[in-house]
């Protein structure tokens, strides 16, 4: 009968013994909370990530605050010096009024201001345009209903509501109404005075959100 080989001479047992020794050493280090010197764990990369993130965040806040909203005027070296006070350009009411007229009024009253026979009255040379500013402003702010006589002819078209009042389809500001009234009073040979925003505001505040005017009601206003 053959004798089994001795464990001392078998290399397989040596390998197993070495593996057990390393395993015991690892358990011992874990139990004693010692740093594994063979590992590559380091806090440095995490520190770099957090530091870089903080720097990027600060840069974004700085650029947003001091970029001047990326307005090219902020970086125009040829621009004249500024006092730091915002300057609001004054708009010519005739220019603004014409733009408003062409956008909303021209379909009914036509480019020449002569209106449409029997429906929409003329504005050129019309007594309602060149007469009382109080009446004219009320027509545009609150609208007009009922037949009206202009330059000897009768018209039955309805005037829509333009002012900032209930039922307005346009919701125009007092500035816009004053501008378009000034325009039609000085266009097509008309020689009426300009209409102020203050007048329009006063009328709108006084009359509130009333319904459309009738010609009879307007004729009672001086």
Looking up residue 118, the CATH number of its domain turns out to be 1.10.760.10
Q: What pLDDT, in 10s, does the model give residues 114-169?
A: 999 999 999 999 999 999 999 999 999 999 999 999 999 999 999 999 999 888 88
Number of domains in the chain: 1
**Secondary structure class of 150 (helix, strand, coil):** strand
**Per-residue pLDDT at 220:** 95
Confidence of residue 46 (pLDDT cuts 50, 70, 90): confident
Q: Is residue 53 very low, low, confident or very high in pLDDT (cuts 50, 70, 90)?
A: confident
Residue 212 included in any domain: yes
Please check whether residue 194 is in contact with residue 93, taking contact to mean a CB–CB distance below 8 angstroms: yes
DSSP H helical ranges for 67-214 = 93-100, 106-109, 127-130, 133-142, 174-185, 197-207
Residue 127 resides in a domain: yes
CA distance 5 to 110: 119
Q: Which residue has the higher pLDDT, 154 or 90?
A: 154
103: domain range? 93-219
The answer to whether residues 126 and 151 touch, using CB atoms and an 8 Å cutoff, is yes
Report if residue 129 sits inside a domain. Answer: yes
13 inside domain: no
Predicted confidence band at 55 (pLDDT cuts at 50, 70, 90)? confident
> Would residue 132 count as lying in a domain?
yes
Of 168 and 32, the structure prediction assigns the larger pLDDT to 168
Residue 152 lies in a domain: yes
Q: Each residue of 136-173: b (16+ CB within 10 Å) or e?
A: bbbbbbbbbeeebebeeeebebebbbbbbbeebeeebe
pLDDT band at 72 (very low <50, low <70, confident <90, very high): low
79 in a structural domain:
no
Q: What is the pLDDT of residues 164-215, one digit of tens each?
A: 988 888 999 999 999 999 999 999 999 999 999 999 999 999 998 899 999 9
Residue 67 lies in a domain: no
What percent of the chain clears pLDDT 70, i.e. is strictly above it?
70
């Amino acid at each position: 009968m053959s004798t089994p080989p001795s464990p001392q001479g078998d290399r397989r047992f040596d390998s197993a013994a070495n593996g057990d020794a390393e395993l015991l050493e690892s358990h011992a280090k874990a139990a004693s909370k010692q740093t594994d010197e063979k590992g590559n764990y380091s806090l440095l990369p995490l520190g770099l990530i957090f530091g870089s993130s903080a720097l990027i965040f600060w840069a974004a806040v700085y650029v947003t605050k001091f970029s001047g909203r990326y307005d090219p005027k902020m970086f125009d070296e040829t621009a004249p010096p500024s006092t730091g006070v915002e300057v609001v350009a004054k708009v010519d009411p005739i220019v603004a009024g014409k733009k408003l007229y062409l956008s909303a009024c021209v379909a009914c009253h036509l480019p020449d201001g002569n209106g449409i026979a029997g429906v929409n009255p003329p504005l050129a040379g019309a007594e309602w345009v060149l007469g009382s500013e109080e009446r004219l402003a009320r027509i545009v702010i609150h609208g007009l209903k009922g037949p009206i006589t202009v330059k000897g002819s009768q018209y039955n078209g309805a005037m829509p509501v333009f002012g900032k009042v209930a039922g307005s389809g346009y919701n125009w500001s007092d500035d816009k109404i004053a501008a378009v009234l000034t325009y039609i009073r000085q266009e097509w040979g008309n020689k009426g005075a300009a209409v102020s925003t203050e007048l329009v505001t006063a009328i709108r505040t006084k009359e509130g959100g009333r319904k459309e005017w009738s010609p009879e009601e307007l004729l009672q206003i001086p």
